[in-house]
Chain A
Amino acid sequence: MTDISMSDHAVTGKTAPPAEARSMRLPTQWLGVAPFFIFAIMFLILPTLYLMLGAFQNEAGEFTFENIAALAQPSIIAAYWISIKVSLASSLIGAFAGLAIAIAIVRGGLPEWIRSATLTFSGVASNFAGVPLAFAFLATLGRLGLATVILNTLFGLNIYAHGFNILSFWGLTLTYVYFQIPLMVVIIVPAIDGLKKEWGEAAATLGATMAQYWRMVVIPVIWPSFLGTVILLFANAFGAIATAYALTGSSLNIVPILLYAQIRGDVLHNAHLGYAIAFGMIFITGLANVFYIWFRTRSERWLK
């Protein structure tokens, strides 16, 4: 192994171009990454900035806080609130359920095929979102859905009579969880694989109980990946619209649906209010990320 890395250095040394050659080559180097940066600036960063700035301008292009202040009307606040609730609930349920499944398949002593089958299925289900997912849940928990009918005929439990509605907060949350759990599984399994078996054995020989080992080692080690994934799940749910729109039409007024209606028909009769709504969405997902980065740099000094 040593001789390979030595020959590596030798090769690098020999091919390092002389000074003039390097300055000649500089433009070509940037040429390779230029399409990426041009694309990112034109179609990702500028459009976003355009909306951000528009949120602080009035029709005449002057700076103002009016649009942001206008977000404080009850219907918009309600929309943000229900969005935050659905996103938070679905990301937390998805995260804990996904973590439990990941631990079960990695550390639970289940047969190997269960692990690979679960990972494959998670890859599929985490991408099975949008309109078709809404159809699947309507067929399951809608008024005529299979689960609804079976619960009613076999157990005499009419979930709709008990206040459940697929077009409600819990209906939407339960549907979102269908892609949130597998996403958590896909992301967190490598982190759990990274927990070395020897750590548990070392802790055991040092007299630690299972609970102590989890509290002092496992949870602190997994925590950063876990929290990062929760943030990702939150953003994932917060921006999602297709599932909710196909499921509930516009009966459940979450923020993306409100924005969608605004873009289609300018229902709020003020384009700049639309910008402000978009700004609010990015502000919330951005805030979640800033919190995550702040937390991680503060508490995880042991991470390289």
Chain B
Amino acid sequence: MKSGKFWAWLVFALGAAYFFIPLIATVEFSMRMRRGEYSFDAYKVVLGDARFQATFGYSVLAAVFTIILGVLIVVPAAYWIRLRLPQLRPIVEFITLLPLVIPAIVIVFGYIRMYGSNSPLPFLATDTGTNALLVIGYATLALPYMYRAVDTGLRTIDVRTLTEAAQILGAGWGTIITRVILPNVLIAVLSGAFLTFAIVIGEFTMASLLNRPAFGPYLQNIGANRAYEPAALAIIAFAITWGCMSLIQILSRFAPRSANRPN
């Protein structure tokens, strides 16, 4: 018993060291810009950089559109599968796992070849089309996470019973979706949304190969040309990821708890 506890502490301490040393080192490095003293100069330079503002804004916008697209695709499908088409569940779960197996670089390579200017669907012929294709690509990357989040949300509220109860009370489909289902899965959808945001905001591969002025390629460019700013950017990116995850945690406290499931 005693020795077990010792090993647990040891493992935990080693893990904590591995995870915290790079963070501490990065913070330290990011503050070394002014010779001989610590300062926040690197952060000032980064945050004041017009390209930082532009690319970050672009990626935030792309993330927002990705979330909207993801919700529109995933929520109806997950809902219908829970409610009426459970036989499709294995197929859909398989599809949502594919993006974890097919590398992002392969997916975007496929897009470039399939949707080029000479193809029947020339997404890449225009700027808007390319932006749309980037959002689409991000939505496929986020698909596993979005689907899982929404499906878990639907499972805990037992949509089938809720829908049937609403039907018995005379509600139409519009009412059911807007008044019964959406409010109850909102927390799950938001969790998926923040996770999507965390994945998309610094994404490099797709944005770079589609030549979009996004935050990921900007990060890479700074990394190749500057010394202290990349460390500051890493800390900023870590803070953004941390913020998204914290929001998910806070949201989960407001998630509806199942009241009537007999297990």
Chain B: number of interface residues, binned into ranges: 35 or more
Q: Which residues of B contact A239 (CB under 8 A)?
A: 102-106
Q: Cβ of A202 < 8 Å from any Cβ of B?
A: no
| Residue in A48, A110, A130, A134 whose beta carbon sits within 8 Å of that of B110 in the complex | A48
A48-B110, A50-B114, A124-B241 known; A108 and B9 CB under 8 Å?
A: yes
Task: State whether A132 and B237 are in contact (beta carbons under 8 Å apart), knowing that A124-B242, A242-B220 are contacts in the complex.
Answer: yes
Chain A, 108-141, contact with B by CB distance < 8 Å: what is the 0/1 string?
Answer: 1110001000101101110110111111111110
A251 to B24, CA, bound (A): 27
Q: How far is the CA of A144 from the CA of B1 in the complex (A)?
A: 43
Write the chain B residue with the least CB distance to A14: B168
B136 at the interface (CB under 8 A from A): yes
Smallest CB gap from A256: residue in B: B105
Most chain-B Cβ atoms within 10 A of its Cβ — which of A100, A108, A135, A286?
A: A135
Contact of A46 among B12, B19, B76, B114 (CB under 8 A): B114
Q: A109-B5, A245-B220 are in contact. Are A140 and B25 (CB under 8 A)?
A: yes
A-chain residues with CB within 8 Å of residue B246 when the two chains form the complex: 120
- Whether B117 is near chain A, meaning CB under 8 Å from some CB there, is no
Residues of A that sit less than 8 Å from B by CB: 1, 4-5, 8, 11-12, 14-15, 29, 32-33, 35-37, 39-40, 43-48, 50-51, 54, 97, 100-101, 103-105, 107-110, 114, 118, 120-121, 123-125, 127-128, 130-140, 144-147, 177-178, 181-182, 232, 235-236, 238-242, 245-246, 249, 256, 259-260, 263-264, 271, 274-275, 278, 281-282, 285-286, 289
28 contacts between A and B (CB under 8 A): A15-B167, A35-B73, A36-B74, A36-B92, A37-B77, A40-B98, A43-B111, A43-B136, A45-B95, A46-B114, A97-B15, A104-B15, A108-B7, A110-B9, A123-B248, A128-B241, A130-B203, A130-B204, A130-B219, A131-B204, A135-B230, A239-B104, A242-B205, A245-B204, A249-B224, A263-B105, A263-B112, A282-B102
